[in-house]
Structure 1
Amino acid sequence: MRDGAYVRAVSDVSFDLAAGECLALVGESGCGKSVLASALLGLLPGNAETAGSARLGEGPDLIGADEATLARSVRGRRVGLVPQSPAAHLTPVRTVRAQLAETIRELRGLRRGDLRRAVTEAAERAAFPPGHLDRYPHELSGGLAQRAATALALVGDAPLLLADEPTTGLDRDLVERTVDELRRHIGTDRALLLITHDLAAAERIADRVAVMYASRIVELADADGFFGTPGPQHPYARGLLDALPDRAFTPIPGMPPELGALPDGCAFAARCTRADEPCGRLPGLTDGVACHHPVRAQEAARA
């Protein structure tokens, strides 16, 4: 709730994610991506209301869990968070070594002798230079701060690595190195949920893509088909790709609706050239696309 009115920040979102897989959740700023991440970790503000469920294997329901369960059993142990702003996420008055040591001690219960070795191993695992462990966050570059945050996220060997806009503020070379590093940590026992507005980063490492618009997932597709042939089926998702400089470089006209004043029907209809009377009804996610008039393969081939 905001200013006395309900804001539907995330609505009817449903997806699965298997170990060894990267799912990229993409969309414009303000569509609800990071709110979803906060809901999975129990980090929403006190006046937020949630419904539904989210499970990791046989673990607790993340949406319904209380704070004690989330703190004791989920954060760090079931879900490792790589945050959007690592410099803000790291404690400014403590060295990287001290923060890693504290996290390892809490999650693994190691003693001093084993702890020092484990800190070095945790740093190397995330490609963080051990020679920088005694530096404070403000002494790190953006890329090194991101690696420090990744090292912290990996300490608990969580089965889900949740990266929330991990490339914000990085140049293209660092973006590629950061997402490649995240991809490297996916294995037979870990999955990666990459939340990003950077479609190039998503294309580089994702197995599947979920496109979010105005609180809902409007398309869920294999990455190869989404970025290649036949391409996106939802007009909004196709517009996102067409707006990229290395594609048509054509912006989507108009602005997204306010999440506190969503229409009854398709939220994209006011910006869509394909909209007609049926779009006044909310479309369900059918065959991976929530649209009354999806872009079909034959049509995409002619475009």
Structure 2
Amino acid sequence: MTLTLRRVTVRIPLGPGRVVHAVTEADLVVRRGTVHGLIGESGSGKSMVAATITGLLPARAEMSGAVTLELADRTLHTAQLWRSRGHTVALVPQSAMTYFTPVRRIGPQLAETIRHLGTEYTPAQLITRVGLEEVVLRRYPHELSGGMAQRAAMAFALAGDPALIIADEPTSALDAARSSAILELLGAFAADGGRVLLVTHDLTALRESGICNDLSVMYAARLVESGPATTVLAGPAHRYTADLLAALPENGLRSLPFPTPELVNLPDEFRYGDRSSAPVRGGVR
């Protein structure tokens, strides 16, 4: 029972002669009961993969390939999966504080979400499930810390009893302790039989937590490596993965040897290490 992406390609027209190569021929499998990490530099296309699965692509986006989610009693294909957003697939967004309506308390917002999704949970059940006290339900979003807001966003994601959670940079801007707490929540969801796609650039937290069963690496809109997390982290097969790990502080903080390319009008033949055929951010090669 898996989430599967087969040769998924996403292109976003910007105007005459300009197209964002957001995702190119992506193959990805997220198994039941596991956390699958998706790593890579900012601008590599990770969030576009998340948007493809959840059906939150820009209106002009053009997608090819297939996304399927195999469940015990049925298999959902791309359009069906998009229509089940909130129920079968849920999103934990990167900036939880901007995810909430700022002028309403957390409790009524969560209650409204539960009503819309038609589940039997109470706001108190969900908020305590993510390790927060019920008093949080009476607070406005601006009264929450970053870690509390991420936990609250997790409660909203759980409201529809999803089979799959897409967590897009859920530890962004959090300290180590709060990052660990969020990752533990995602790990517990997977351990209960769920599936998690964890999109992150926080490799240090990912390595220290040991949360990921599998790991995929993205560069310039392509998935360049996938495998068991321990294998990818200990002995990467792709040069980009090795260079990305070498850039971590604990590994010497070495700069990546090649600049990050722009995804606008990216040549289809572009690969890591190609200095000549791709536009580079800021116009500098």
Q: TM-score, normalised by structure 2?
A: 0.86
The residue number in structure 2 matching 1:184 is: 188
Aligned residues: 259
- Mapped to 2, the partners of 1:103 and 1:264 lie a distance apart of 42
The residue number in structure 1 matching 2:227 is: 221
2:200 is the alignment partner of 1:196:
yes
| Structure 2: gaps (5+ residues) | 1-12, 278-285
Question: Which AA in structure 2 matches 1:142?
Answer: G
Q: CA RMSD in A?
A: 1.9
Shift of 1:60: 2.9
- Mapped to 2, the partners of 1:81 and 1:264 lie a distance apart of 30
2:258 is the alignment partner of 1:242:
no
The residue number in structure 2 matching 1:156 is: 160
- Mapped to 2, the partners of 1:30 and 1:233 lie a distance apart of 22
Shift of 1:194: 0.1
Question: Which AA in structure 2 matches 1:52?
Answer: G
- Mapped to 2, the partners of 1:76 and 1:46 lie a distance apart of 19
The residue number in structure 1 matching 2:101 is: 91
| Structure 1: gaps (5+ residues) | 272-279, 281-303
- Mapped to 2, the partners of 1:156 and 1:60 lie a distance apart of 16
- Mapped to 1, the partners of 2:116 and 2:178 lie a distance apart of 31
> Aligned residues: percent identity?
40
Residue pairs, 1:25-40, within 5 angstroms: 25-40=38-53
The match for 2:82 among 62, 70, 93 is 70
CA-to-partner distance for each residue in 1:85-113, whole Å, 9 max, x for gaps? 00111111111111111111122255xxx
The residue number in structure 1 matching 2:62 is: 49
Question: Which AA in structure 2 matches 1:202?
Answer: L
The residue number in structure 1 matching 2:257 is: 253
- Mapped to 2, the partners of 1:129 and 1:56 lie a distance apart of 34
Question: Which AA in structure 2 matches 1:20?
Answer: G
- Mapped to 2, the partners of 1:248 and 1:263 lie a distance apart of 32
- Mapped to 2, the partners of 1:52 and 1:263 lie a distance apart of 19
Q: TM-score, normalised by structure 1?
A: 0.81
Shift of 1:202: 2.5
The residue number in structure 1 matching 2:140 is: 136
Shift of 1:146: 0.4
Shift of 1:36: 1.2
The match for 1:60 among 76, 83, 107 is 76
Asked whether the equivalents of residues 256 and 268 of structure 1 are also in contact (C-alpha less than 8 Å), the reply is no
CA-to-partner distance for each residue in 1:274-298, whole Å, 9 max, x for gaps? xxxxxx9xxxxxxxxxxxxxxxxxx
Shift of 1:253: 2.0
CA-to-partner distance for each residue in 1:52-97, whole Å, 9 max, x for gaps? 11111134322x45xxx734xx111111110000011111111111
CA distance 1:226–1:178, shift in 2 (3 Å): same
2:23 is the alignment partner of 1:13:
no
2:84 is the alignment partner of 1:80:
no
- Mapped to 2, the partners of 1:167 and 1:202 lie a distance apart of 10
Question: Which AA in structure 2 matches 1:83?
Answer: P
Q: Which has the higher strand share?
A: 2
- Mapped to 1, the partners of 2:230 and 2:59 lie a distance apart of 40
Shift of 1:263: 3.3
- Mapped to 1, the partners of 2:56 and 2:160 lie a distance apart of 19
Shift of 1:171: 1.4
2:15 is the alignment partner of 1:3:
yes
Shift of 1:129: 1.4
Give the match's secondary structure for 2:107. helix
